[in-house]
Amino acid sequence: MQIIIKILIAINSFFCRHLCIMLSDANISNSITIRGKWAIMYASKGAQISIGDNVIIASGVFGNALSTGGRTVIRALSSGSKICIGNSVGISNSVIIARTFIQIQDGTLIGDGCLITDSDHHAIYPINIMKRNVNSEIKSAKVVIETGVFVGAKSIILKGVRIGKGSIVGAGSVVTNDVPPYSIVGGNPAKILHSDWRKVIEKTK
């Protein structure tokens, strides 16, 4: 049974990779691994998605033990928008949507059910929410997640945020401001819980 499951996962990974290349302007490494359901990746005309080597994407209930059944969705929505995912990144059943620019650097792990977006996607005032053409009120700002970051399950990373190298984002956090390198943040909105987790580890040795 385990052999059959592994064969099905390998077939799924192969076809998903090539489906993404046919449907969008995507530069996807041959070493990407997709576990579970097909991930959804789509770049609009003039947009770009780039995924590096040794990336593992979990999509669906069998992709991650914590999964509630969602898929991983990676979408570059507008002409000129770009999503850059580095090497050795892990993404579990999460949604990454860019109108301008999102970068996830090498060695970062994105937990189950996260949302990363660089835009409000619609007007924020109730009177204008239904006016989809009010582009002046739709704010966007690039998101950068630096190397070796861990983003806990069900976290939300909002527009204009830079998460520093080696940081840890606690599960269920809503990150609205920059996160310094090697810090631990948590809560809604996320606040700094430890300024440098390396010092915490040193104290326990």
Which of 33-47, 85-99, 124-138 is predicted least confidently?
Answer: 124-138
Q: Are 41 and 69 in contact (CB under 8 A)?
A: no
**Catalytic position from the list 18, 121, 122, 194:** 121
Which of 23-37, 45-59, 145-159, 190-204 is predicted least confidently?
Answer: 23-37
Which tokens is 187 given? Answer: 């809560």
Sheet holding 90-92, edge to edge: 33-36, 56-59, 90-92, 109-110, 150-151, 168-169, 184-186, 191-194
Q: Are 85 and 94 in contact (CB under 8 A)?
A: no
CATH class of 2-204: mainly beta
Q: What is the pLDDT of residues 82-115, one digit of tens each?
A: 999 999 999 999 999 999 999 999 999 999 999 9
Give the list of residues 6+ apart from residue 47 with CB closer than 8 angstroms, or none.
Answer: 24, 25, 76, 77, 78, 79, 80, 81, 82, 98
Concerning whether 121 is annotated as a catalytic residue, the answer is yes
- Please name which of 107, 117, 114, 108 lies closest in space to residue 93, comparing C-alpha atoms: 114
Measure the CA–CA gap between 88 and 103, rounded to whole angstroms.
14
Q: What is the pLDDT of residues 141-181, one digit of tens each?
A: 999 999 999 999 999 999 999 999 999 999 999 999 999 99
Domain positions in the chain: 2-204
Q: State the pLDDT confidence band at 19, using cuts at 50, 70 and 90.
A: very low
Q: State which amino acid sits at residue 29.
A: S
Containing 116, the helix (H) or strand (E) segment is: strand 115-117
The predicted model scores a pTM of 0.81
Which tokens is 59 given? Answer: 């999509």
